[in-house]
Amino acid sequence: MATRPVFISVPSIPNYVEIDDIEFEWFPGFSVKQKQRSIASLHENFKHKYSSLSILEISSKSENELGVALSAFNLTIETKNNKSFTVETAFQSSKVFEHGGPYIDLFGRTSREAKKDPRLKTSGKLIRFQYFNRTWPLEPKTLFYDWLYINALSLNTDLSKLILEYDAFSDIEFNPEKSINCQARSAALYISLHRKDLLNHVLESTDNYINTLVTNREISSREMPAPPEQLDLFS
């Protein structure tokens, strides 16, 4: 047996996302088929507990084409200069470390190449994110990643409509003991913001986004710098 978090859209709570750790039968192996068997078990047990909710696996291992397209490895950001890169590539290329970064050359790499770049492991401690000319803090921990994801999703018209059919999201590859950011969580946040009629508001500017997302959270002035304005590439 194994346990994985499922991220549920709950617009009424301060963080907008509820996390429930679901126990399920794990099918060992690296093949896509084995991963999909594990996903099926996870979703079956989730439905036993939440029969009225629709769940979607977001990863390259998803049996649903929508779930594959919504993976951060595939979800694409298109700039007004006709440049494109994935959410994963944007995230990795924005990391600033004690001894290097941001490594903006990663914008030209594939998602897998960007994530596996050895400099991300040999440049010391992660200290902030630098996305083009904007600086983002490390706290709250998922603030920057969620912003990247929901902005990218909002610009993909078809995907942003289809995802509204779902209430909860999983990512079979996500291990909370090893990682912080999760595309399934970002998707649940997107749904909550939409259902609470806050999505357009947070997309208008990063000021609106930050003020909305830090509501009811205790963040010191040292952790939260002056909010940056939303970038033109998302307008």
How do the pLDDT tens digits run along the chain, 235 residues long? 999 999 999 999 999 999 999 999 999 998 999 999 999 999 999 999 999 999 999 999 999 999 999 999 999 998 888 889 999 999 999 999 999 999 999 999 999 999 999 999 999 999 999 998 899 999 999 999 999 999 999 999 999 999 999 999 999 999 999 999 999 999 999 999 999 999 999 999 999 999 999 864 433 333 334 444 444 445 3
Instruction: Single out the residue of 9, 85, 79, 2 nearest to residue 42, CA to CA.
Output: 2
Threshold 0.85, pTM exceeds: yes
Residue 201, amino acid:
H
Q: Is 16 helix (H, G, I), strand (E, B) or coil?
A: coil
Q: Are 234 and 155 in contact (CB under 8 A)?
A: yes
